[in-house]
Chains A and B, each alone.
Chain A
Amino acid sequence: MTTVMRLLPPRLGARIAEFRQLDRRRRKYLTTKYVLKLEPVLPGKFAKKMKRRLAKYSPFPQPATKPEYPGRTARIRLIEADLKRAAGRIPG
């Protein structure tokens, strides 16, 4: 047990010891979750980063946002360029 842990109240110390046994992903998820409890006082940018981290390590897949062009392919890009060029939209 580290010195810091000796100084902590026994229950919290036990909690931390238990916490250290969890797998890395779970630890990251939980620390982020606890940090985000302080969201009202956290700098906006940092809170945003923490939310991204929470999403990354969450055990549940995140709700989706709709992509602009779900079916866009490399061939579509080429055809689009052909179209624009043929219409004189891309200077020769």
Chain B
Amino acid sequence: MHIVIDLQGAQCESRFRGIGRYSLLLAKAIARNRGDNRITIALNSVFPESIDTLKAEFEGILGLDCIKVWRGLGFVHGRDPTNAWRRQASEKIYEAFLAELQPDIVLVSSLFEGFADDSVSRVPSAHRAWATAVILYDLIPLIYKDAYLTSSVVSSWYARKLENLRRADLLLAISASSGIEAEEHLRYPADRIANISGAADPKFQKITVDQKEAERLKTTYKIARPFVLCAPGGFDHHKNVDGLIRAWANLPDRIRNTRQLVIASRIHKATERRLDKVRKKAGLGSKDIVFTGYVPDPDLIRLYNLTELCVFPSRHEGFGLPALEAMSCGAPTIGSNASAVPEVIGREDAMFDPEDPAAFARLVAELLEAPDRRAELSRFALERAELFSWDRSARIAVEALERIQSERSERVEPAVSRPHRLAVVAPTSDLRLGAAHRLLPLLPELAWRYEIDVVAASGSADASHLPDGVSGCLTREAFRREAGRYDRILYCLGGAGDADIADLALEIPGTVILTEAELAARLDRSLEPGVRLRLLRACHGFADFADPAADPARAATSGPLVHDVVARSLGILAGSAAVARASADAGVPDAADWPIVPFAHAPAERPLPTRRDARTRLGLDDTTPSLVVLCDPASEAATLAAVKAVAAAAPEGTRLLVLAPAPGADRTRLANALAARGLGAPDIMLFDPGHGPALAVVSAAADAAVAFGAAVEAHASGLALDLADAGLTVVSAAAAPSTGAAVEAALAQSGTAFTVSGPDGEPDAAASADLLTASLERIYSRSDVGLRQATGAIAALERTPDDRDDWGRAAEALSLTFPATRAPRQLLVDVSELSQRDARSGVQRVVRNILRNWLQNPPAGYQVQPVYATTHHGYRYATRFTLDFLGHPVGEVEDDEIDFAPGDILFMLDLQHHVAQMQRAFYQTARHHGVKVYFLVHDLLPILLDGIFPPQMRTLHEDWLSVVAESDGAFCVSRAVAHELSDWIRDTGRLKPHPFRIGWFHHGSDFTGSKSWTGLPADAEAVLATLESRPTFLMVGTLEPRKGHAQTLDAFEALWAEGVDVNLAIVGKEGWLVDDLAKRLRGHKERGKRLFWLEGVSDEYLERAYAASVCLIAASRGEGFGLPLIEAAQYKLPIMARDIPVFREVAGEHAFFFSASDGTELAAEVQKWLALYRDGRHPTSDAMPRLTWEETSARLASAIVEEDFLIELRQPRPEPVA
């Protein structure tokens, strides 16, 4: 049995109350005690903050694939009547989502939710495929109507919920008392109610609270005296807190003056003010009663263990969980004798009448003055609490669910279903024309299974040609209106009218049958260039564009542009294996897996004109030889070549009737191109093969045909077969030894070895019809069932939305609940900063290098799709940027909004603080719906190094890292940064319930992959010559306080003063907080002599500077990685590096490390290095391990895809309080 537990009760507002706790603990216990049953937990992502926590709760009990997330619309709460449409639409999505899970039984954890929050639950009305069980907590609002159902909005909302409750197949009552309420007040059958009782969380237990902890609690909650505790779990009317306060006033002074009444529950200000008035009116002082507000569980457990007595004064309870929790902690507990409370308290002498303050006061006074009785009550409480356990409740629940399910399966009779309505979309209602004619023999067989209508995509609805088995026909417009009435839609693509059919197929999704291998190319030609590029991106990613060896012209013009139709359809059937193969070769996703429905070759039934008539219409006499040339649609050049070859091989005077599958404008251009080569009319005539009457005339007039290209594969080409049907010998030029031989064989009407013909044997229409039906039904049973059901149901709602944005909200909820299932997996790579501007910083150099390599070598199984968001809009595919980045003309292509599906990865390669913060909710939504979100972290320097970044950078970086910490993980540019990030997340308390994983990688060092900026300034050669004239120490990096430029300059001033003849070259632009340093550099007397500041230099210039230097000084006090070190190693340039962990990690033993605190010390270190250098004993960087960008990119991609991480962080599971 498949049990789906709708756990919104533990997600919505009730998650802070007993209902939330009850729902979660019972669901976990059911999962533990599921036996052979399958459990799925359904969560609503309208409550995003609860999802990771709940997933963590089920870890070790259920696999992550057993937790399914759907999405309601939001803004659906019942308090506001204007939410009605959104609520109803959400209910439809909820039902369709459940239907897609195919449950046997759905357990609704809390039906009476959604008045003040956005939860949605419903018990389906009729013809449901599953049973529904509801946990019944109580019917308090129904019983105390005067207190709860005073407003018409509340009462009508509650009445609707009661209707739902009555429809449930089973009520799991949390106590005998609540079950009896359902019998008495709803007349609900007793045999469909199970008392499953409840239990306290095992963490509620007897513990020892030490003196220090007790003092802390008293201070925290302002408790001044020994106390009596009440944790009502709310302040509703039935909780009777007012009555408790009044009863407290009845206690004798000697008790009241030595104790306090502590009321521990989340309380609103207004409620506190109201209860304060009750207190004053009862004559109690402000110290007599303490309202603690919300008390976290660990503290509540300690308070239960410290209290002298616990009271539970409710007038009415479904179960009385707080009383049981107190008893589990060994607190002597007394409670009212009403409703379910006695089932928990379990003894008469610990109960009182909640409406009798005097009785309450008597009992409390007796107990507070009798420690022995309290001790005995405490022992009893612990024994009594042992009787309640979640596992016991869960076992009762599972048994009841199994019983109801088995009764139901015996009771439910198989529904008598009407035949499905099938719309066959063809070019015209005359199915004898176009690709649909291949369906003709199948229709009588299909008519047993379907009620069939024909839709004329291009023409008018003419019922006179309807074949057997077809009930009616309708026009395109009528179909658009009536599409919702059809259970199945079949688009026949592969001949005339394809563009119109494709249009409809894009508009109204259905199943598509492809009967022509050349369809992709044909559709391709009809596309605008911008649209073609967008589709190419959607279909292939940028693989074609990123391959440097690929011909850009080819990349921009070829491709499987049938993709759009394929992507939008519910499923594809291939008319032959060749169609599937050709489409797979063209890169259409999953084409190799398309079901093949081998349509028995059915000759077209259209009447052909006589040969004489046809020839007369074409201006041919009886004796002129004429040959049909069926062209490969792949390219105009191929057509020209084919026609030229046939013209050369054919005897003089032969008329060539060329069937060129091309749009009108292209055909005119083709005619002009032929004429320009001396191949014009009257010897050569062009025809549109999609035009039925013209094809009939050509077929009747010609003597034979020669077909070119892949089009002639026997099963693939309807055209070749149509010509063969018409009695022509059709010779395949590809199969013949030469075009000349093909022409000769055709005119001689021989050459059977390479003659096109239909498949052998008689067509088996019944078998094909069976196959078609089975494939169609399989497609409709699995693909987008939920989406179609929900869309139809929402569209059929009587009301229309008040807010026009609601359509978008509904679409968003549908899209998230029913993700695309046939999309290729994407590696979405964020380039938000680089796509807007290239600041030519180190970060952007990393982005450029990795992106370029990923585009050229995408990780197996993924399409690399660069994406970006700005401060004004959400994520889009960066198509324009990427084409430009790869050096292709951009043209008029537009950037589409992104799509994502479970299994995709969003990798934040670029660094754009504000965009990341603004998209925070988007990352969360994507994560909850199956997308992994990872960030690249370069460093934590603005946080770790005080005073050397502008102050706002620290806040900005902290905010950004907070977003990072909410994701699935991060990849850092070094192990050192990985550990720093891990420490920061731990130290700042940003651990989350879900795992956060940290990996690392090192940058590449080669320039070749990254060279994107070349050119030298006019004085470059002179500068480089000076650098080479004496030992030059090079510093590379933007001028920032942390980089140690000022200290290094101090050192070199000291060296120059001592007469050491060396150069200092600084490469890097001016950063922030370095005004003094910049001024000093610009006005330095050695500038241009022995001091050089090369600002904003190209990669080429930097490369030359590395080559002209003898040593790199890396004086930075903090780095994420230290790219210059690895670049220096690339040029075998020795390195002097400050002794910091990341430089040790990168350079190891291949650098000279120093720890100078001022310029003088650094000058001494430089002297030391020079001495070593002169003796040839300085550490060299030649053997320093380094990677190319290609290797770095491949390793990073593999780590992302294969989830290779160094550190895993997560919030610790709450420990039992001790």
Contact = CB atoms under 8 A, between A and B. Distances in A.
A61 B913 contact: yes
A70 B897 contact: no
B795 A67 contact: no
Contact of B899 (A60, A70, A74): A74
B481 interface: yes
A76 interface: yes
A9 interface: no
Contact of A70 (B568, B811, B874, B952): B874
B507 interface: yes
Contacts of A71: 812, 874, 921-922, 925-926
A56 to B, nearest CB: 8
A22 interface: yes
B791 A79 contact: yes
Interface stretch (A33-41, A43-51, A84-92): A84-92
B144 interface: no
Nearest to A82: B791
A79 B563 CA distance: 18
Nearest to B913: A61
A78 B872 contact: no
A79 B871 CA distance: 26
B808 A22 contact: no
A73 interface: yes
B872 A79 contact: no
Given A73-B897, A74-B896, A61 B484 contact: no
Contact of A86 (B484, B808, B925, B1069): B484
Contact of A66 (B508, B800, B899, B918): B918
Nearest to A86: B795
Contacts, number: 124
- Residue among B481, B794, B871, B915 with max Cβ neighbours from chain A (10 Å): B871
Contacts of A66: 918
B871 A65 contact: yes
B89 to A, nearest CB: 9
B671 to A, nearest CB: 38
B606 interface: no
Given A76-B812, A83-B807, A67 B914 contact: no
B918 A67 contact: yes
A79 B795 contact: no
A92 B914 contact: no
Nearest to B819: A75
A62 interface: yes
B530 interface: no
A18 B481 CA distance: 71
A83 to B, nearest CB: 6
Given A23-B1095, A59-B1072, A92-B480, A64 B871 contact: yes
Nearest to A92: B480
B1139 to A, nearest CB: 31
A21 interface: yes
A86 B898 contact: no
B919 A70 contact: yes
B914 A61 contact: yes
A70 B815 contact: no
Nearest to B920: A70
B873 A67 contact: yes
B795 A64 contact: no
A70 to B, nearest CB: 4
A71 B480 CA distance: 29
A68 to B, nearest CB: 8
Given A85-B507, A86-B792, A87-B794, A74 B898 contact: yes
Contacts of B1096: 23
A78 B792 CA distance: 14
Given A70-B919, A85-B483, 4 more contacts: A23-B1095, A61-B914, A64-B871, A67-B874
Interface of B: 477-481, 483-484, 507-509, 568, 787, 791-792, 794-797, 800, 807-808, 810-812, 814-815, 820, 837, 839, 869, 871-875, 896-900, 912-915, 917-919, 921-922, 925-926, 950, 952-953, 956, 1069-1070, 1072, 1082, 1095-1096
22 contacts: A21-B1082, A23-B1096, A61-B956, A62-B914, A67-B872, A69-B812, A70-B918, A71-B921, A72-B808, A74-B899, A79-B814, A80-B807, A82-B508, A82-B811, A83-B807, A84-B807, A85-B507, A86-B795, A86-B796, A87-B794, A87-B797, A92-B480
